[in-house]
Chain A
Amino acid sequence: MIEGLLGFAAMFVLMALRVPIAVAMGIVGFVGFALMRSWPAAMSSAAGEFTDIGAYTLSVVPLFVLMGNFVTRAGMSRDLYQAAYAFIGHRRGGLALSTIAACAGFGAICGSSLATTATMARVAMPEMQRFNYSTAFAAGSVCAGATLGILIPPSVIMVIYGIMTEQSIGALFAAGVIPGLVAMGFYMLASVWVTSRHPEYGPPGERASWAERLKAMRSIWGVVLLFAIVMGGMYGGFFTPTEAAGVGAMGGFLFALARRSLTLPVLRDVLVESARTSAMLFLIVIGASLFANFLNFTELPNALKEFVTQFQIHPIVVIIAICAIYVVLGTAMESLSMMLLTVPIFFPLVTSLGFDPVWFGILVVCVIEISLITPPVGMNIFVLSSVMPQVPTTTIWRGVVPFIVADILRMSVLIAFPAITLFLPKWLGL
């Protein structure tokens, strides 16, 4: 157990030295494993981590990343925003509500919150500024709404959780749907609450006629079709999640092509960008799995289990404590590495307490969403301020506060009623 704690300490020292997190996890995992077992064993397993990263089931990651990048280039976020705007834009705070709805829609074809932030910021921020929205409120609605990208399937984070914990990716995706809609509802309530206290933060937009609404609805057929093919194909038993990702990427490619948003240089950029992102992600996966191998030998997960049973801590208290730890860690750590670092410890504990691993996966995704918008290290905030350099970071920080409150309320609901999460996968027989 002491070895495990030393391992964590060494990792945090390396991280503080500015060594890439993937490399820090890898060094500690490798050296720790070698000291506890033997150097030849550590060397052999480390070499295997690199050569086996090409396993077929892992190809789901780059393909979903690619799909997200294609639909981002295809400009589908603008259509979604206009459709949402046609229906709810004329209400108080309507543009913020439209932003949140459009983010949810975009999340259904894109598995990355960062891509959702970048594309929605470009579409929604200028509109909200045109209607004199409070900059903080506008930025908050984009940052928070975009976190839905990883909760509503497809989701790259869920895929990585599924691979790490050997859970069905199909079940995780299905489990994310209803919590995603619940989350959208809470975000909308948060913006209604803000505009009811400060009507000047979110003046209403223009009312659209029914003819305009129908026209806007028709323009999002591409999004609906792509979602239907990918998810329908997966749950209809036509293809596996990996194949769904390949078909989705192809669909995104064809849409981008049909909309004439792909030239050869753009295509090359999309592909190279997705390849680099995948290389970066897989390096973290390799580092994390070296680290996890080491942790399994340290008995740290078992020690934690014994601690919980010894003091007879109520399982729900354990879950709440884990979520609280995640929220605190998430303010300072990048989300993916936070998940990969902690899941090897928390997952055995949570499942030994009898909780559903899929349900816990959705909770992990939810706390990651919170970590994306909590300062000082909130990736969505960074992305928004890189797309909109004129918006000060501190303004965004102010704007996300009501949405963080909404997130915490949503987490409480999901913890209190596991059926919200588990109903759909059960119904689909997964």
Chain B
Amino acid sequence: MKRFESLLSYVAAAALFAMMVLTFADVLGRKFLGNSLVGAVELTELCMLVMIFLALPLASLAGEHIVFDLLDRVMPPRLLTLQQSLANLLTGLVFGAAAWLVWRRSVRTFEMGDITARLEIPLGPFHRMVAAMLLLTALVHLVLAAREAMRATSGQPAVPAAGASTGSGS
């Protein structure tokens, strides 16, 4: 499990690094060598899909999604754990539904044989990857929900780590 997590994070990190290098090389090539890198734009786009959706389950696991937690202070701890569990259950179901929607889309992408404009890379596998990662994110939330449900019934106090609101673009 731990190993799989670090595999995901290494690939996401590599994809982001590649985006940076591709964009930089594209600019350099155009300014100093007179021609831009062939397919840099579409490679950047594919790297971005990989980066975002591999990092999504990691963000969920780290509890980085922003939640409205102003009511946490007034909630009894046990009720709070139950609430966290329900919220994660609902979030998991939503990601599961999203995975199914994107999977249907990927079937169509395969059928149409969609490819990128310059390098003719097939898009189907990438859409399928998005669906798979959404499913994984759903599983992360369902596991968190189950864990919290057990904690709520066994009467252990809430752990604020899951779903604590930290980090944002602002």
Contact = CB atoms under 8 A, between A and B. Distances in A.
Interface of A: 14-23, 26-27, 43, 46-48, 50-51, 53-56, 58-59, 61-63, 65-66, 112-114, 150, 156-157, 160, 238-239, 242-243, 245-247, 249-250, 253, 268, 271-272, 274-284, 332-337, 368, 372, 376-377, 379, 382-383, 386
A336 B68 contact: no
Contacts of A275: 9, 12-13, 15-16, 51-52, 54-55, 58
B65 interface: yes
B70 A250 contact: no
Contacts of A386: 166
A18 B58 CA distance: 19
B80 to A, nearest CB: 8
Interface in B55-98: 55-56, 58-59, 62, 64-72, 83-84, 86-87, 90-91, 94-95, 98
Nearest to B108: A47
A113 B167 CA distance: 10
Nearest to B10: A268
B91 A19 contact: yes
Nearest to B15: A275
Contacts of B70: 332, 376-377
A278 B87 contact: no
A276 B53 CA distance: 9
Given A271-B16, A334-B165, A59 B48 contact: yes
Nearest to B170: A335
B26 A243 contact: yes
Question: 3 closest pairs, A vs B, by CB?
Answer: A246-B23, A271-B13, A20-B65
Given A17-B83, A279-B55, A56 B169 contact: no
A65 B53 CA distance: 17
B20 interface: yes
B2 interface: no
Contacts of B159: none
B105 A239 contact: no
Contacts of B53: 279
Given A50-B134, A276-B58, A18 B44 contact: no
A58 B51 CA distance: 13
A226 to B, nearest CB: 13
Interface in B1-51: 9-10, 12-17, 19-24, 26-27, 31, 41-42, 44-46, 48-49, 51
A330 B94 CA distance: 27
B130 A50 contact: yes
B24 A247 contact: yes
A128 to B, nearest CB: 24
Given A55-B45, A268-B13, A279 B27 contact: no
B101 interface: yes
A46 B42 CA distance: 22
B66 A246 contact: no
B68 A56 contact: no
Given A18-B83, A18-B87, A47-B101, A279 B56 contact: yes
A54 B49 contact: yes
B169 A20 contact: no
Contacts of A239: 27
B9 A283 contact: no
B112 to A, nearest CB: 13
Given A51-B130, A250-B21, A268-B10, A335 B104 contact: no
B170 A336 contact: yes
B166 A279 contact: no
B168 A335 contact: yes
B35 to A, nearest CB: 15
B55 A272 contact: yes
Given A63-B19, A253-B20, A275-B55, A50 B102 contact: yes
24 contacts: A18-B68, A18-B71, A22-B66, A43-B101, A48-B105, A51-B102, A54-B48, A63-B23, A65-B169, A114-B170, A156-B169, A160-B169, A238-B27, A243-B27, A246-B19, A246-B22, A247-B24, A271-B17, A274-B16, A275-B15, A278-B16, A283-B65, A332-B70, A336-B168
Contact of A279 (B19, B23, B58): B58
A62 B23 CA distance: 12
A280 B168 contact: yes
B87 A272 contact: no
Contacts of B31: 238
Contact of B168 (A47, A332, A379): A379
B159 to A, nearest CB: 14
Contacts of A246: 19-20, 22-24, 26-27
Contacts of A22: 65-66
Contacts of B84: 18
B168 A282 contact: no
A280 B64 contact: yes
Nearest to A111: B169
B23 A23 contact: no
Nearest to B31: A238
A61 B20 CA distance: 12
